[in-house]
Amino acid sequence: MVIANLRPSWVEVDLAAIQQNVKEQQAQLPAQSRILAVVKANAYGHGAVAVAQALRQVPVAGFCVATLDEALELRAAGITELILVLGVTPVEVAGVAAEHQVSLTVSDAGWLQAYATQIAPLVKSPLAVHVAVDSGMGRLGARTPAELQAMVDCLADSGFVFEGMFTHFATADEADPSYFERQVNHWNQLVASLTEQPPYLHMANSATALWHPETITANTVRMGISMYGLNPSGRGLSLPRPLHPAMSVKTAVSFVKQLHAGESVSYGATYTAAADEWVATLPIGYADGYARGLTGYQVLVNGQRCDILGRICMDQMMIRLPESLPVGTPVTLMGVDGDEQITATDLADQLKTINYEVLTGFASRLPRRYH
């Protein structure tokens, strides 16, 4: 998709806020603890390359992505730190990871055996791997000491570097800690079954580091949503310390007209004016990730909340103005304007989803502007 640089709609990213969130998290961790910054899905919509470059200055120990292609994007941009692909990478392309010093997640001995026989003889560099442990997420990894040991035995082959081991928690952001505690115990049992541990052990995600720091027995934390300044639980749990949201979404008025009583707006004519009012058209819509489900919500203009009128269109939307305002007037769809604020969690509540989906939903058509 082409980036619409010549249209006045954009995503604004505060890189200093992201850096500050990481520094404050690091200060809460035991000495010598490391942070792997999760920049998958284009850094949750913030821009993976720009975020990674900013975090090198903090610094962080490395980065986590979802796919090998995301890792290669960072390498092409000059990111030299550890990069871990969290998802499963097909064996047949895993040699590309070895050639670019990208670490891969492995979940079973069969994958390792296939790589050792089919791919390793064809590449010059060993493949660094992080063994996934399924402590209760039910997604990837070894579930028993026997499964874990089978993978570790495969890693004795010279084609591998046993760089790390990790798990992921399903309920660390929920009020009831019982399932989380079961996962922690399962993780600890599997770690204890190893005769030798790899350099990177990571079991804590954003929620674990925020609400369960006393359970962290590993030396590395994967920092995701909290790095971008948002509560992993939405509104489920209160934050133990303030976070600094990094993303805003902004546009500008493209057209203004007076709507007369009895006249309607947008598809389906679902909104009809009861009295004369000023209406602005905005050059942004659901193709940009400002979801159609936000129809009837609000935006911010000159520090005031303004209602969205009628259905949100693919590329445009209409709002009620408090008065006639000029074309080019700034509008905040997510972020701070004066004393008012609309957060990703606010939008998520309106959409009956989570703030993660809101952040990652803003399309690449919207240019990212950094400060």
| Binding site residue list for substrate | 139, 314
How many CA atoms are closer than 13 Å to the CA of 212, on its beta-carbon side? 25
Q: Which of 40, 44, 250, 286 is catalytic?
A: 40
Question: Are 278 and 323 a contacting pair, CB within 8 Å?
Answer: yes
Taking the alpha carbons at both ends of the chain, their separation in whole angstroms is 24
Q: Which residues are annotated as a binding site?
A: 139, 314
**Residue 370 falls in the annotated catalytic set:** no
Q: Which of 81, 46, 49 is nearest to 63 (CA)?
A: 81
DSSP string, 137-160: SSSSSB-SHHHHHHHHHHTTSTTE
Contact between residue 249 and residue 334 where contact means Cβ atoms under 8 Å apart: yes
> CA neighbours within 13 Å on the CB side: how many for 3?
9
> In the Cβ-directed half-sphere of 46, how many Cα atoms lie within 13 Å?
34
What whole-number distance in Å separates Cα of residue 91 and Cα of residue 176? Answer: 39
d(CA 360, CA 355): 9
In b/e form, how buried is each residue of 212-227, taking b as 16+ CB within 10 angstroms?
beebbebbbbbbbbbb
Catalytic residue check, 250 = no
- Catalytic residue of the set 228, 267, 297, 356: 267
Q: Which residue has the tokens 């579930």?
A: 143
342 dihedral zone (left: phi>0; alpha: psi -120 to 50; beta): beta
Please state, as a whole number, how many other Cβ atoms lie within 10 Å of the Cβ of residue 330: 13
Opening angle at CA 344, ends 279 and 224, nearest 5 = 155
Indicate which residues carry an active-site annotation: 40, 267
